């Protein structure tokens, strides 16, 4: 059960790859990417309400683990890139062609960072 969220996240990653390689299909690209961003924003709320954080981080002292902090840093970077993607997407939709290059490079960075967030999250998942 504990690893289910990692499996769901990995499937959303595959979906994100589809959205990434088909940007011209706006009807597919925009809702897919928006849904993935909404998913990423909801995951911390889900984990907070469904896991015993006090036990895991404090009693088991996982708060001192490098992997936990790496995961934390990565998902902060991911949210920052999500915000930047939405901002450049807004410019693209307003017809600003200069936003295209920025949106594309941020998209590559987001693919990389989100992949690492999912990997470090799966490594942290408690199989108990
Ligand atoms: C709510 C979020 C997003 C919106 C509204 C959005 C919107 C758009 C729009 C309007 C285009 C132009 C499509 C066209 O040429 O007709 C585009 C292109 C693109 N988007 Fe997004 N996007 C979003 C998120 C993302 C994310 C998260 C990624 C990557 C992980 C991404 C990667 C790309 C790429 C690679 C292109 C092609 C750029 C190019 O023409 O070289 N987008 N997006």
User: Residue 35's CB: how many other CB atoms inside 10 A?
Assistant: 14
Q: With bands split at pLDDT 50, 70 and 90, how would you rate the model's confidence at 1? A: very low
User: How far does residue 100's CA lie from ligand 1's centre (Å)?
Assistant: 8
The dihedral through the CA atoms of 71, 74, 79, 85 has a sign that is negative
Q: Are 41 and 94 in contact (CB under 8 A)?
A: no
**Best residue among 28, 33, 80 to mutate for probing ligand 1, ranked by most atoms within 8 Å of CB:** 33
Q: How do residues 81-109 score in pLDDT, each as one tens digit?
A: 999 999 999 999 999 999 999 999 999 99
Distance 68 CA to ligand 1 centre (A): 30
Neighbours of 110 (CB within 10 A): 22
Residue of minimum CA distance from atom 41 in ligand 1 = 104
**What pLDDT band is residue 125 in, cutting at 50, 70 and 90?**
confident
Closest residue to atom 29 of ligand 1, CA basis = 107
User: What's the predicted TM-score (pTM) here?
Assistant: 0.92
Q: What residue's CA is closest to ligand 1, atom 34?
A: 104
pLDDT digits (tens, 9 = 90+) for 31-81: 999 999 999 999 999 999 998 889 889 988 889 999 999 999 999 999 999
Shortest-distance Cα residue to atom 24 of ligand 1: 33
CA of 46 to the centre of ligand 1 (A): 27
> pLDDT value at position 127?
61
Q: Which regions of 5-128 does DSSP assign to beta strands (E)?
A: none
- Domain residue ranges of the chain, discontinuous segments joined by +: 4-124
- First CA to last CA across the chain, in angstroms? 9
Q: Is the dihedral of CA 114, 117, 121, 123 positive or negative?
A: positive
Q: How confident is the model at residue 2 (pLDDT cuts 50, 70, 90)?
A: low
């Amino acid at each position: 059960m504990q690893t289910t969220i990692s499996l769901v996240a990995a499937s959303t990653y595959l979906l994100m790859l589809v959205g990434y390689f088909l940007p011209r299909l706006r009807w597919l690209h925009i809702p897919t990417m928006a849904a993935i961003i909404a998913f990423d924003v909801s995951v911390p709320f889900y984990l907070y309400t469904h896991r015993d954080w006090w036990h895991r981080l404090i009693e088991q002292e996982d708060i001192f683990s490098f992997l936990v902090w790496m995961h934390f840093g990565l998902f902060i970077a991911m949210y920052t890139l999500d915000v930047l993607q939405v901002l450049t997407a807004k410019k693209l939709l307003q017809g600003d062609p200069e936003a295209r290059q920025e949106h594309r490079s941020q998209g590559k960075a987001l693919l990389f960072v989100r992949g690492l967030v999912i990997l470090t999250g799966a490594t942290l998942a408690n199989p108990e």
